[in-house]
Amino acid sequence: MASTSDIRNGLVIRFNHDLYSVVEFLHVKPGKGAAFVRTKLKSLTTGRVLENTFPSGAKLEPVRVERRKFQYLYPDGSEFIFMNTETFEQISIPAHQIEAHEFLQEGQECEVMINADDDDAILTVDLPNFVVMTVTYTEPGLKGDTATNTLKPATVDDTAEVRVPLFVNVGDKVRIDTRTKQYVERVKE
């Protein structure tokens, strides 16, 4: 068992019959009354974020998780096939467990969070923070369209749609933040 003094970002706990990862926390000691810990918890099964306040010294049930490197190989229907880079074992992971799966690229290394307490059950798949993709379709840009911050829709690698500035054209390579699913910059070759 752990207590609120052990809370840190990334800690996985069992709470309300579900597994949650601590996204944010803040120890609060008000002038009057007992101290408490205000947290934001993200469910590893549904992806829902909830705010919760624990009284100081409350007991928590931590879950032992491991992070392993896997390489993305190919899609297989609604699942994606990954290979462990150490043992070369292949596993299939359903799309709902991969946040931003539309930004997966063949050969890409991802970090898979595995519940070491529960028969190596897969919890989440984390893509690299940034990926470089090629714009396959967008409306053509006009000369001089760099002055405003106006965005237009663009399809990248025929898999995902992101909003890009007006000066981006078909064939351009763009860097995308997989956490926010937003355009970051145009990449020069």
CA distance 72 to 27: 39
What residues contact 152, with CB distance under 8 A and at least 6 apart? 138, 139, 163, 164, 165, 166, 168
**Is the pTM above the cut of 0.85?**
no
| Tokens (6 digits) for 26 | 């803040």
One DSSP character per residue, 92-159 reads EEEGGGBTTGGG--TT-EEEEEEETTTTTEEEEEE--SEEEEEEEEEPPP-TTTTSS--EEEEEETTT
60: enclosing H helix or E strand: strand 59-62
CA distance 56 to 73: 46
Which pLDDT score, from 0 to 100, does residue 54 have? 93
3-state DSSP of 30-57: CCCCCCEEEEEEEECCCCCEEEEEEECC
The torsion of the CA quartet 72, 75, 78, 83, rounded to 10 degrees, works out to: -30
Which pLDDT score, from 0 to 100, does residue 144 have? 63
What is the full per-residue pLDDT of the chain (189 aa) written as tens digits?
Answer: 888 888 999 899 999 989 999 999 999 999 888 999 999 999 888 888 999 999 988 999 999 999 899 999 999 888 999 999 999 999 999 888 888 889 999 999 999 988 887 778 888 898 999 999 999 999 886 666 666 678 889 999 988 999 998 888 899 999 999 989 999 999 987
* Nearest alpha-carbon partner for 117 in 187, 5, 12: 12
* Nearest alpha-carbon partner for 176 in 102, 126, 113: 102
Which pLDDT score, from 0 to 100, does residue 37 have? 93
Kindly list the structural domains of the chain, giving each domain's residue range(s) and its CATH number in brackets, ordered by start.
Answer: 2-62 (2.30.30.30), 65-126 (2.40.50.140), 130-187 (2.40.50.140)
Q: Beta-carbon neighbour count of residue 155 at 10 Å?
A: 16
